[in-house]
Structure 1
Amino acid sequence: MTMNEHSAEAAKRAATNPIAPGWYADPEARTFEGRYWIYPTYSAEYDKQTFFDAFYSDDLITWTKAENILDIERIEWAKRALWAPSTIERNGRYYLYFCANDIQSDHEYGGIGVAVSSRPEGPYYDAIGKPLIDRFHFGAQPIDPHVFIDDDGTAYLYYGGWGHCNVVKLNEDMVSLDQLEDGSAYKEITPQQYVEGPCMMKRDGLYYFMWAEGGWGGPDYSVAYACSHSPLGPFERVGKILQQDPDVATGAGHHGVFQATGSDDWYIAYHRRPLTETDRNHRVLCVDRMRFSEDGTILPVTMT
């Protein structure tokens, strides 16, 4: 079976949602060495979110858990929870960006860190011994990192909570910040109704910038997007692509995307809250198809 045939077959035989047991949220989605990976938050009471697991699949149907790929004990400066991981490969090494300590001002210590490993399943270890981003810039709380490498090799890190989103450029080492074209390190790119959970993808030369709207603990959590011809924007909101379905689940948001190997089939990995659950931490991992219209706009995602 060719890769295209395999992808088509996988699309027909979509995995049962949720894709894995347990409470998880904020999934990042990647393809490493021909294998699909999901990196989520362990969804529990905040101070119990002290480690990361990951899930991998060869066919988008059967998922296997890689346990404890990063533990808070390996991050000396992290005194509270770890959450919202984003992982990327460069030059044979894997970099996992995460947030810790939930700082509320520049007077507290924490923010976005980076860990590194020689394998996608880890173990990951602190790469620099301190936060990579530890201050509020343009009102953005330093949380929810998402790393993106453009076709020209330029690496960007998108991040931000409290209704503000920034982008920074990473150096080749992936653990330090480069300057943007105007000489600054930080650029605010906040689109309308942005809350948190940024995500970037590129298709047919167009940049799709996505984010989470609404409150993460409530039923209205959702995903919206904008498009641009530049990874730095400007980003004008187009509309929602994922939201609650009263027949399926609520609180659907904070996602990642991946492209099926050898095809133009795209998938969205996201978390949602089962209808039977009221605890805001009871979130599960799901994967569904993400389809595009002929003009390139993203069609609303049907939760399955």
Structure 2
Amino acid sequence: MKRLLIPVLFFALGVLNAQNAKTAGNPVLDGWYADPEGVIFDDQYWIYPTYSDAYDKQVFMDAFSSKDLIKWVKHKRIVDTTTISWADSAMWTPSIIRRNNRYFLFFAANDIQNNEALGGIGVAVADKPEGPFTDYLGKPLLGEIHNGAQPIDQFVFQDKDGQYYMIYGGWRHCNMVKLKNDFTRFEPHQDGSIFKEITPDGYVEGPFMFIRNNKYYFMWSEGGWGGPDYKVAYAIADSPFGPFERIGIVLQQDPEIATGAGHHSMIKVPGKDEWYIVYHRRPLTETHHNHRVICIEKMQFDDNGFIKPVKITFEGVQMNLLEKL
């Protein structure tokens, strides 16, 4: 018995250390997904992605929730084209906001190429974060091309004063619009404009904005979405309207791990200066442009407030239980 004691003790310590060091692993979700919106509702992490398979299959969206960043629960088909009267294809890039205990899911549909086509950016609504979501307006919130920006890749941002803005745009142009508080239409900016272009150098698509230490961080994706050079860059300004001058790259491929790392979002742990970047990438074994997976890494800042370049990993992030608010 005494001879077994030490080996058993070391084994037990090894198991304990393995549990303490447990990471989520990348990818964090099973299946082909892209363009993730990461968010926290109450004491749960949520990811809302695009379903990333053949184009004609991109007609629904799933959501995923987690208590600890390790185990994720899949919520199937929270919305699809059968519940959106005007949408028939290509449901992309969800962005979600909770307001007055309702959940508003902004999405792009139909991949319109001109102002004669039906489609653009829509809104769905639900009473729970897992849905089911139904059509909020019965028509697109935005169905036209302005300033050269295709109406896709919307991100809904709430400023410090409570005002909601929608930042969006493909085709290398990015606009910001001021949302009415009920999300039914747009209101003029202070200068009288509706569609204010804030496109920085290098912008392609996938905008995201957050505030840290009273500075506005604007992030976007560059390169070709179907290729290995896809990446995330950023700028910092004193206003949500910029001007935004490109600072550098935050996230990009590692040819030893994965390619096409981009189209991200951010999760901030409430009450702490802890940040995660949620993004998609293409496994080295895949060549199909839609075969993408969702990953999470820690994101950190230097003493001057600049974002440190993120190294993509297979390990991912460690367990992090959220405290109840």
After TM superposition, is the score higher than 0.5? yes
| 2:301 aligned residue (283, 289, 292) | 292
Deviation at 1:92, TM superposition (A): 1.0
Structure 1 position 283, deviation (Å): 0.4
**Alignment-derived partner of residue 169 in structure 2:** 160
In 2, the alpha carbon distance for the partners of 1:11 and 1:152 equals 40
Which of the residues 98, 103, 107 maps onto 2:107?
98
Say yes or no: does 1:151 pair with 2:168.
no
Instruction: Give SS of 2:246's match.
Output: strand
Of the three residues 242, 256, 262, the one matched with 1:253 is 262
Shift of 1:39: 0.5
Give SS of 1:47's match: helix
Aligned to 2:319: none
Q: Does 1:280 align with 2:278?
A: no
- Match for residue 121 of structure 1 among 130, 135, 142: 130
In 2, the alpha carbon distance for the partners of 1:11 and 1:159 equals 40
Asked if 1:16 is matched to 2:25, the reply is: yes
Q: More strand per residue: 1 or 2?
A: 1
Aligned to 1:73: 82
Q: TM-score, normalised by structure 1?
A: 0.95
Distance 1:47 1:57 in 2: 29
Q: What residue is the counterpart of 1:44 in the other structure?
A: 53
Aligned to 1:138: 147
Structure 2 residue runs of 5 or longer lacking an equivalent are 1-18, 314-325
What residue in structure 2 maps to residue 6 of structure 1? none
Task: Tell me which amino acid in the other structure corresponds to 1:170.
Answer: L
- Superposed displacement of residue 20, structure 1: 1.2
Aligned: 1:211 with 2:220: yes
**Could you say which structure has the larger radius of gyration?**
2
CA distance in 1, matches of 2:238, 2:104: 26
Aligned partners of 2:183 and 2:20: how far apart in 1? 34
Q: CA deviation at 1:13?
A: 4.1
Tell me the SS of whatever aligns to 2:290: coil
- Partner of 1:181 in structure 2? 190
Equivalents in 2 of 1:271, 1:171: separation in Å? 31
Counterpart residue number, 2:253: 244
**Alignment partner of 1:198 is 2:198:** no
Matched residue SS, 1:254: strand
Aligned-CA RMSD value: 1.3
The whole-number CA distance in structure 2 between the counterparts of 1:215 and 1:152 is 36
Q: Deviations 1:35-84 (Å, cap 9, x if unpaired)?
A: 11110000011121010001111111211111111111001101222111
Partner of 1:5: none
Q: Is the 8 A contact 1:211 1:224 kept in 2?
A: yes
Q: Which aligned runs of 4 or more in structure 1 are off by greater than 6 angstroms? A: none
Q: How many residues align?
A: 295
Question: Would the alpha carbon gap of residues 206 and 292 (structure 1) be closer, same or farther in structure 2, given more than 3 Å must change?
Answer: same
2:290 is equivalent to residue 268 of structure 1: no
How far residue 14 of structure 1 moved from its aligned partner, in angstroms, is: 3.4
Match of 2:34 among 21, 25, 49: 25
Question: What's the CA shift string for 1:156-213, capped at 9, x where partnerless?
Answer: 1000000000000111102321211112211000000100010111111111110110
SS of residue in 2 equivalent to 1:69 = strand
Aligned-partner SS, 2:56: helix
Residue in 1 aligned with 2:70?
A: 61
* Preserved CA contact (<8 Å) 2:59 2:88: no
Which shows bigger deviation, 135-144 or 53-62?
A: 53-62
Question: Runs of 5+ in structure 1 lacking a partner?
Answer: 1-9
> SS at 1:215's partner residue?
coil
Distance 1:55 1:213 in 2: 26
Question: What displacement does 1:12 show?
Answer: 5.9
For residues 225 and 64 of structure 2, what CA distance do their matches in structure 1 show?
22
User: What's the % identity of the aligned pairs?
Assistant: 59
What TM-score do you get using the length of structure 2 for normalisation? 0.89
SS in 1 for 2:207: strand
Q: Is the 8 A contact 1:103 1:111 kept in 2?
A: yes
Letter matched to residue 308 of structure 2: L
Q: Is the 8 A contact 1:34 1:261 kept in 2?
A: no
Amino acid at match of 2:160: D
Contact 1:53 1:67 in 2 (8 A): yes
